[in-house]
Amino acid sequence: MSKAVILTPAHIERLKSGALADREVPGLSIIVAGAAKKQWRFKRVVAGTKKTVELILGVYPAFSIDEAREWAGPLSKAVSRGEDPRTIKRAEEALAMSVADAHIIYMAAMRRGDRKKLKPRTISDKDKMYTRDIGPRIGSKVLAQLTEDDCWDAVYDKAKASKHRANKMAGELSCFLKWCAGREGRMAGIMLKEHPATTLNSNWFDTGPKANKRFLSDEEIEWLFRALVDEELTYRRGFILLLLTAARRSELFEAPSDEVVAGIWTLPPGRSKNNEENVVALGPWGQRLAQTNYEWLFPSPCIDGPQRAGWFKARDRIHARMEAFAGRIISRWHFHDLRRTFRSHARRVGIDNEIAELMLNHKRKGIEGIYNRNQELELRAEGFAAWERHLVGLAHSADAAESLLAPPCEPDPG
């Protein structure tokens, strides 16, 4: 580099190659970078170290000489004091980071599984809660300025629509803020000194009894079958298959059709709640209802993917018809109650308790879970067959078998 000069437009115009340093601001220079392209650069060793700071501002004349000096002046003073201006800049950017920007970093770390590998379902739930509940309320706020009142105001706003979801929102928001204020957040460049709302918790609002004991009796199952007759084929298939397979709602309704092969539905670990594969042997009724030429077992009529909407409204319609058939009020039931219905009737139809637990894809506990790796697939298949025979009999008793595509009644082989 040539001797430093007090830069003027004439100096820059005459510069054809290399670099020309500015005498007024140590470290500032104009460099030729490509065809007729001249850039402002700051390059200087940090005092007391061997570290060289090199930063580029932009091109001349888009940035004038005065603007370049205004940019480089604070950098030069910081370097003279032994400070790395890049570190200062990162800290300033971190302090100005929005909740939305921090959440992008957080979710990237969750997807990578830097410390703990999360299931795809858990990651999806985190994304949904932020997109639906957290982001619209506090996403634009500066993370470092977020207060406890900001957090609780957002949670209480959500509680106006659903206390259950407000509890989940509070739990996820606390988890996110704890990560930001912890070691992992600092390593990711998030400078949050402390969790701003440590009182957030997922049990704040009373949402009723935690232990649900609801299951459907044989009489209620008959009413359910009668009520399904007037539903669209998609919902008839969905609710019957939920009963037949004792599966979780999301596991069944979001299943790709290629998971069902030769009458066997294999739920992969990545889609199951406990991260373990589950094998469901479908009987004649289940196999008939699971037949489809689409990519998804229950394809959406609106988008490319499974049908996630409409199920709760269908449940409400079905429940109303069940009450009409019963001639009285019936306790409300939820999708998970259909799993409990299977478990409550399993012993009565000849299914051993241990086999029923495996059919529900519940993990074995304690020493048994560690050492007994036999999945008892044959006994589970016999269990699903026995359960289907029981439900087929109820469909015939309800005079709904033909409408629901149920097969003829078969005698119990036992």
**pLDDT on residue 370:** 62
Residue type, 151: C
Q: Which residue has the higher pLDDT, 365 or 40?
A: 40
The pLDDT of residue 244 is above 70: yes
Q: State the SS3 of 296-361.
A: ECCECCCCCCECCCCHHHHHHHHHHHHHHHHCCCCCCCCHHHHHHHHHHHHHHHCCCHHHHHHHCC
**pLDDT on residue 341:** 96
- Residues 4-31 have pLDDT tens digits of 888 899 988 888 888 899 989 999 999 9
Q: How much of the chain exceeds pLDDT 70, in percent?
A: 93
In angstroms, the Cα distances linking 412 to 104, 223, 287, 382, 399 are 56, 23, 19, 11, 20
> Hey, how many other C-beta atoms are within 10 angstroms of the C-beta on 64?
12
**pLDDT on residue 345:** 96
Choose the weakest-confidence range: 98-102, 124-128, 408-412.
408-412
The pLDDT of residue 224 is above 90: yes
> Hey, how many other C-beta atoms are within 10 angstroms of the C-beta on 47?
12
> What's the chain's average pLDDT?
89
- Residues 104-143 have pLDDT tens digits of 999 999 999 888 888 888 898 999 999 999 999 999 998 8
State the pLDDT confidence band at 238, using cuts at 50, 70 and 90: very high
Average pLDDT of 262-288? 91
CA of residue 359 relative to chain centroid, distance: 26
SS3 96: coil
The pLDDT of residue 90 is above 80: no
Q: CB-hemisphere CA count at 13 Å for 21?
A: 12
Choose the weakest-confidence range: 250-259, 260-269, 342-351, 365-374.
365-374
Separation between Cα atoms, residue 394 and residue 222, nearest integer Å: 6
Cβ atoms of 118 and 127 closer than 8 Å = no
**pLDDT on residue 247:** 94
Q: What angle do CA 326, 332, 334 make, to 5 degrees?
A: 125
**pLDDT on residue 127:** 93
**pLDDT on residue 383:** 95
Average pLDDT of 212-217? 89
Average pLDDT of 196-208? 87
**pLDDT on residue 216:** 96
SS3 390: helix
**pLDDT on residue 34:** 73
> Which CATH topology does 218-397 take?
hpI Integrase; Chain A (1.10.443)
Domain ranges of the chain: 9-86, 96-187, 218-397
Q: Taking the C-alpha atoms of 312, 310, 304 and 279 in order, what is their torsion angle to the nearest 10 degrees?
A: 40
SS3 387: helix
Cβ atoms of 46 and 79 closer than 8 Å = yes
Instruction: Name 159's Cβ contacts closer than 8 Å, sequence gap at least 6.
Output: 166, 205
* Furthest CA-CA distance within the chain: 102
CA of residue 75 relative to chain centroid, distance: 42
Cβ atoms of 401 and 229 closer than 8 Å = no
**pLDDT on residue 69:** 93
State the pLDDT confidence band at 215, using cuts at 50, 70 and 90: very high
**pLDDT on residue 88:** 64
**pLDDT on residue 406:** 93
Say if 9-86 and 96-187 have the same CATH topology: no
**pLDDT on residue 413:** 67
Separation between Cα atoms, residue 214 and residue 341, nearest integer Å: 8
**120 is written with which tokens?**
């795809």
At residue 139, what are phi and psi to the nearest 5 degrees?
Answer: -60, -35
State the pLDDT confidence band at 351, using cuts at 50, 70 and 90: very high
Cβ atoms of 192 and 181 closer than 8 Å = yes
The pLDDT of residue 347 is above 90: yes
**Could you name the CATH architecture of 96-187?**
Orthogonal Bundle (1.10)
Separation between Cα atoms, residue 329 and residue 320, nearest integer Å: 9
Separation between Cα atoms, residue 156 and residue 388, nearest integer Å: 45
**pLDDT on residue 368:** 66
Q: How much of the chain exceeds pLDDT 90, in percent?
A: 63
Cβ atoms of 244 and 384 closer than 8 Å = yes
State the pLDDT confidence band at 33, using cuts at 50, 70 and 90: confident
Annotate 20-87 with DSSP letters as a single string: EEBSSSTTEEEEE-STT-EEEEEEEEPTTSSPEEEEEEEEETTS-HHHHHHHHHHHHHHHHTT--HHH
**pLDDT on residue 209:** 58
State the pLDDT confidence band at 363, using cuts at 50, 70 and 90: confident
Q: State the SS3 of 255-314.
A: CEHHHEECCEEEECHHHCCCCCCEEEECCHHHHHHHCCCCCECCECCCCCCECCCCHHHH
By C-alpha distance, which of 412, 369, 365 is closest to 387?
Answer: 412
CATH superfamily of domain region 9-86: Integrase, DNA-binding domain (3.30.160.390)
